Amino acid sequence: MKKTTRKQKRPLLAILILAVILIVLSVISIGIGALYISPDAVVTNLLGLDHSFEFIIQQYRLPRIILAILAGAGLAAAGAILQGVIRNPLASPDVVGISKGSGLAAMAVILIFPESPVYVLPFSAFAGAAIIAVLLLMIARKKSIQPSSLALSGIALGAVCHAGMQYMMVKFPGDVNAALIWLTGSLWGRNWEEVKLLAPWLLILFPIVCILIPKLDLMSLGDELAQGLGENANRLRFILIFTAVALAGSCVAVVGSIGFIGLLAPHIARRLTGEKAKYLLPASALIGAIILLIADTLGRGIMPPVEIPAGILTAVIGAPYFLYLLKFEARKQ
């Protein structure tokens, strides 16, 4: 810890640079897809001076980019909160079972009720995440529970959900392909309707996260210190986990259970800004948005007209980088 402060990180500058990168990437991303649109054409189309690509930009690319930014930021922020609360660097929406819960619910809809209307899927996915969250919080409410056992409970709940998914795939072999694509996470076919579905949630949740930021720093000091400073540690943990679950659940409901972002983004952010939550959280959110935006843009652009689901690319980019991070951390110690 001392080492990092001595290195004189400049967290505000880092956040600013990340924001600029995100904006530049968004403009580039508008141009990439089955039809290439040059950056100057993108700008003239956005300004309304040119209408040649208006339909594609307005109908397909813009909503996807906005959704990638929102969902990436939401998942990353959820990961950063969970890592702070559980005090475990491996905590993330995937690890504590939230993604698995929504995956199980989504799979049930896709495989058992394939005729159900379109809007059922996101709501049931969110419900799945919520059920897991409630179970997790029931365990967390018990006094004096250790954060590590919270992580283990999450892993156990996730394993049960995973078993359920495997069972369904064998028992209802209908459209396993669609179910798998959902599980991987993809922004294909998403448009303004999904943006409208997700944006209100995040508009409520992000301000709540901002209010909670100072508390998150307290939690990372440990229960006893937090209590000594006048906080009810259990209640605080309850609120923070609830917020993280709501964030992750709403994002997963719309884009599917995209992995690695919630785990990876906070780790990268920590290297840039240090541990302080007021810098760490916004930086994580920006990095999460950047990762998902890159993944979705690459998925569109690598082998058109075939799309590669964004979730596959986050895993392909994420897994090796995470291994590198682990090695780096080990060396530091």
Partner 1 sequence: CLIVSGCSSSQNNNGSGKSESKDSRVIHDEEGKTTVSGTPKRVVVLELSFLDAVHNLGITPVGIADDNKKDMIKKLVGSSIDYTSVGTRSEPNLEVISSLKPDLIIADAERHKNIYKQLKKIAPTIELKSREATYDETIDSFTTIAKALNKEDEGKEKLAEHKKVINDLKAELPKDENRNIVLGVARADSFQLHTSSSYDGEIFKMLGFTHAVKSDNAYQEVSLEQLSKIDPDILFISANEGKTIVDEWKTNPLWKNLKAVKNGQVYDADRDTWTRFRGIKSSETSAKDVLKKVYNK
Residues that bind partner 1 in the complex, under the rule CB under 8 A:
33-35, 55-56, 59-60, 114-115, 117-118, 121, 170, 173-175, 177-178, 181, 186, 188-189, 191, 193, 303-307, 309
- Shortest Å, Cβ 184 to partner 1: 11
Q: Is 247 exposed, middle or buried (0-12, 13-18, 19+ CB in 10 A)?
A: buried
Our CB check for partner 1 shows the closer of 102 and 284 to be 102
Cβ 193 to partner 1, closest distance in Å? 8
The pair of three-digit structure tokens given for residue 248, joined into one six-digit string: 């992750």
| Least distance between partner 1 and beta carbon 189 (Å) | 4
Where do we find the tokens 């508390």? 215
Cβ-count burial of 52 within 10 angstroms (0-12 exposed, 13-18 middle, 19+ buried)?
Answer: exposed
CB of 75 vs partner 1, minimal distance in Å: 21
212 vs 254 by CB, closer to partner 1: 254
Alpha-helical runs (H) found in 61-191: 62-86, 98-112, 120-141, 147-171, 176-184
Closest separation in Å from C-beta 78 to partner 1:
25
Specify the residue, 145 or 178, whose C-beta has the smaller distance to partner 1: 178
Under a CB-based contact definition with an 8 Å cutoff, are residues 318 and 262 in contact?
no
The number of C-alpha atoms within 13 Å of 211 and in the hemisphere containing its C-beta is: 9
For residue 55 the two structure tokens come to: 């339909």
The nearest distance, CB 101 to partner 1, in angstroms, is 22
Nearer to partner 1 (CB atom), residue 60 or residue 206:
60
The structure tokens listed for 327 are: 């090695």
Displacement of CA 320 from its chain's centroid (Å): 18
Nearer CB in complex with partner 1: 197/212: 197
Question: What is the rounded CA–CA span in Å between residue 9 and residue 275?
Answer: 11
* Closer residue to partner 1 in complex, CB, 87/300: 300
